Structure 1
Amino acid sequence: MKSALVIIMLISGMCIPAGGFAQSRQQQKTDSVFRLIINYSKTHDADAIYNLADSDYKKSISQARFRDFLFRGLFSNPIKRDSLVSFVNNLIATYKIELGDAKMQLTLGLDDDNKFNYFGLGPYKVVATNKSTRAASNNPLKSATDKIVDSIARRYIQKITTVGLSIGVIKGGIISTYNYGETKKGSGQLPTPATIYEVGSISKTFTATLLAWFVNEDKVSLSDPITKYLPDSVAANPALKGITLVNLSNHTSGLNGLPSNFESQKNYQESNPYKNYTRDQLFTYLKTCTLRSEPGKKYAYSNLAVGLLGIILERVSGKPYEQLVTEIICKPLGLKSTVQHISPLLAARFAPVYDENAVETSAWDFDALAACGSIRSDITDLLLYAKANMVPANTKLYKAFELTHQITLHTEPQVGLGWHIIKADGVSYYFHNGGTGGSRSFLAYNAEKGLIVILLSNADVSTDGVGVEILKKLQ
């Protein structure tokens, strides 16, 4: 789903970290291509810029049309200055460019060969202003932690594009929860620790735990080829033969971020993109798909890979994904609000979701790819979940958690099973974030520090900066 620290924004919308909080290598590469574009723009060399594109982009627009596009836009006035606005999910960079009195926005994405495969140019979108009144909160502002959290959370919740925010902190054994804003715009109803949000890609850590559970039960091995668990007609694709189960969980499978037939699915809904993508459609894609890199060699975040892992675990167990999450993780931990499907009993606690412009939008539903981002939960449950990951226990579930923490990818970013390892001012954290079309989430913990920070928002406005800043101030 959309994702940070620097973040990884996928076309799908779900999130994850790119590594540390300093500029990532991918951002450096994207900035380098951007600088070439700016330099060529100064001499109006449209053809040189066109040659920076990958073959697929060139197929989408002719050289002549691209040249005309640039002369009507980027070349219309001398460039006075430029600046990076955002680099979302280690994939898409947005730059502000001042052309005379005009301001434009250039959005750029690169392929694996550092050629741009996305080039968007249009008027600069003004950063959202703040709310005219102070958002409500139950933060008592008594302890040092209270005041630190409030000073940072205020910068988020006062944006006109945010709606509700719930924060959970465990520091030194003390549990603190904070709520800001409102569950529904105009309702005046403050969220509570029991308000349920979409958690997006944090779901991937639950999926990784299921994988580790079945490894410990000797039902599967991390080194098993995925073809062992797929229908013969799918397993016959030679491109899939080098992919193992661990590759699906640590994003080194070489599979695309999403299947190429994802948006061509029957009844595709842009506002609810995963709802109607079925297992049959996924298997149809896998029968002929090719890989973007050799399995095990390169990190490339993939909702497709983790979604496929969930299907494999369903085939191994004979049970649906949500049932596995409930039986193996939620019931032993007493998680009562962590579900894929919202029941009538829980519906009143589920917060409506809002897009990046604070317009109410659809919550996301999942079919085949549920394991990559379908879970909904509340702050109370996620604090229990994170604490169970952090505090050793002599249980089968903790042994599964422990296996997910073992590093399986030692390059940038470091990844266990599902969990990414990031650093804030030199301190390492197990981390995952999440994002759907109307929500954002953040979860990080460090056992040695005894520190957990979790944020849940019902708006498509990143919580990563808030989460990271809280970590830095509390550690």
Structure 2
Amino acid sequence: MVDQAIRPIMAEHEVPGMAVAVTVGGKAYFFNYGLASIKDQTPVSETTLFELGSISKTLTATLASYAQASGKLSLDAHPSAYMAQLKGSDIDKASVLNLGTYTAGGLPLQFPEAVKDAHMADYFRQWQAQAAPGTQRRYSNPSLGLFGHVTALALGSDFDEAMNQLFAQLGLSSSYLRVPPGAVANQAWGYDEDKQARRMDPGVLAAPTYGVHSSSADMIGFMQVNIAPEQLDEPARRAVQGTHVGYFKVGAMVQGLGWEQYPWPVSLKRLQAGNSRSMITQANAARRIGAPKAPSAPTLFNKTGSTGGFGNYVAFVPAKKIAVVILANKNYPIPDRIKAGHAILEQLAP
């Protein structure tokens, strides 16, 4: 089943290596393809470290939900409650929740190239909204980056340190913001269209938005705790459950913290539309859900993630106890990732 979904994509897009994992009824299965390093001929395994790209946002969202469950962060507060220099700015008209759901009023997909770490606060102070908070969703690294930054401030911690503590509480033993010397041998190389090896060059607020390195073993573990959060101690259980709450309806998709939701079963066409280029690059009308809550009907949660040399997809359906993780060391087209993940999940569903 996995071979039928994965091998044609690898061949069509000349993907050097892929690590795929699925879980069914609490049991994980691993399927490894190709090479983590062409030069060294290192095979991919479930311990190979991939750059997660924007799948990192789901972990940042879990950290924010943890801060909320711990009483340190309020999603209804404004950013200046934790970052005083933003008081009176346009960004401070938005809530922390708006930052975490890309509905702050039109923050762009990326920071302008001229903005460096030292200028980050100035950028947000000077930014001018294009829409009222909560009226449109515009997918944005600056939005989610500031969300992660204020979360760390609320926790009174360095972001990296806070995230490392979260990894431990979630049982993620091979997930890193900075790959330690002892794990470098497991680090895959990413590849561009010319088969040139490359690694991420982190920009402003990279850690909360696209900075996590992880393995298919850890990612399927993360899917399993999302399927069954009750296995976690408090407040980690409430942290994971908090990311399943839907806040804004955007077309056929519901936007929560990190995760994007669809009623299950969902057609491939609908799932691809929700992960389309227009959903990533354009502003889309958003409608606030009146009484936000985790869905009671069967629901698929998903997220894509990319860097210059990596392309990934993860999805899970708690009601069916199924999930898929697809990690690749090439940034191949998102519609094909969705197609493979959807095909696998449809066949796994009882």
| Common fold by TM > 0.5 | yes
Kindly indicate whether residue 87 of structure 2 is the aligned counterpart of residue 247 of structure 1. Answer: no
2:61·2:257 contact (CA, 8 Å) conserved in 1?
yes
Segment of structure 1 superposing worse, 353-362 or 379-388: 353-362
Alignment of 1:360-439 (within 5 A): 360-393=197-230, 395-412=234-251, 413-422=253-262, 425-426=265-266, 428-439=299-310
Query: Could you tell me which amino acid in structure 2 is paired with residue 355 of structure 1?
Result: D
Alignment of 1:267-416 (within 5 A): 277-278=116-117, 280-327=118-165, 329-393=166-230, 395-412=234-251, 413-416=253-256
Question: Which residue of 300, 305, 318 maps to 1:447?
Answer: 318
What stretches of structure 2 of length at least 5 have no aligned partner? 267-297
1:169 counterpart SS class: strand
Counterpart check, 1:466 vs 2:340: yes
- Give the TM-score, by structure 1 length: 0.63
Give the alignment's TM-score, normalised by structure 2: 0.84
Asked if structure 1 preserves the Cα contact closer than 8 Å seen for 2:79 and 2:94, the reply is: yes
> Retained in 2: the 8 A contact 1:161–1:357?
no
Contact in 1 for aligned 2:70/2:235 (Cα 8 Å): no
Code of the aligned partner of 1:451: I
Change (3 A) 1:175 1:433: same
Judge conservation of contact 2:190–2:198 (CA < 8 Å) in 1: yes
Greater helix fraction, Structure 1 or Structure 2? 2
**1:200 maps to amino acid:** G
Of residues 455-464 and 374-383 in structure 1, the stretch that sits farther from structure 2 once superposed is: 455-464
**1:367 CA displacement:** 4.6
Distance 1:471 1:281, change over 3 A: same
**Residue 236 of structure 1: how far off its partner (Å):** 2.8
Aligned sequence identity (%) = 25
1:422-448 Cα offsets, whole Å, 9 max, x none, are: 356436311111001110111110111
- Provide structure 1 residue ranges, at least 5 long, that are not aligned to the other structure: 1-147, 266-276
SS at match of 1:253: coil
Q: 1:173 Cα deviation (Å)?
A: 3.0
C-alpha distance in structure 2 between counterparts of 1:354 and 1:236, whole Å: 44
Kindly provide the CA deviation profile for residues 371-429 of structure 1, in whole angstroms up to 9, marking residues without a partner as x.
11100000111111111111031531011111110111134220121110035643631
- CA distance, structure 2, for counterparts of residue 212 and residue 162 of structure 1: 35
> Is the CA contact 1:364–1:436 (under 8 Å) kept in the aligned structure 2?
no
Instruction: Give the whole-Å Cα distance in 1 for the aligned partners of 2:13 and 2:92.
Output: 49
- Structure 1 letter corresponding to 2:225: A
- Which has the higher mean CA deviation after the structures are superposed, 315-324 or 189-198? 315-324
Match of 1:208 among 58, 61, 71: 61
Counterparts of 1:70-149 in structure 2 under 5 Å? Answer: 148-149=1-2
> Following the alignment from structure 1 to structure 2, what is the Cα–Cα distance between the partners of residues 219 and 174?
35
Q: Which residue number in structure 2 is paired with residue 264 of structure 1?
A: 114
> 2:99 is aligned with what amino acid?
L
- Identify the structure with bigger relative contact order (alpha carbons < 8 Å, sequence gap 6+): 2
Alignment partners' CA distance in 2, 1:370 and 1:392: 24
CA distance in 2, matches of 1:423, 1:183: 35
Distance 1:378 1:423 in 2: 28
Alignment length, in residue pairs?
312
| Residue in structure 2 matching 1:176, options 29, 37, 40 | 29
**Larger Rg, first or second structure (1 or 2):** 1
Distance in 1 (alpha carbons) for counterparts of 2:28 and 2:153: 39
Q: Is the 8 A contact 1:424 1:468 kept in 2?
A: no
Q: Distance in 2 between matches of 1:464 and 1:419?
A: 15
Report the Cα distance in structure 1 between the residues aligned to 2:220 and 2:320, rounded to whole angstroms.
15
On the 8 A contact 1:197/1:376 being kept in 2, the answer is yes
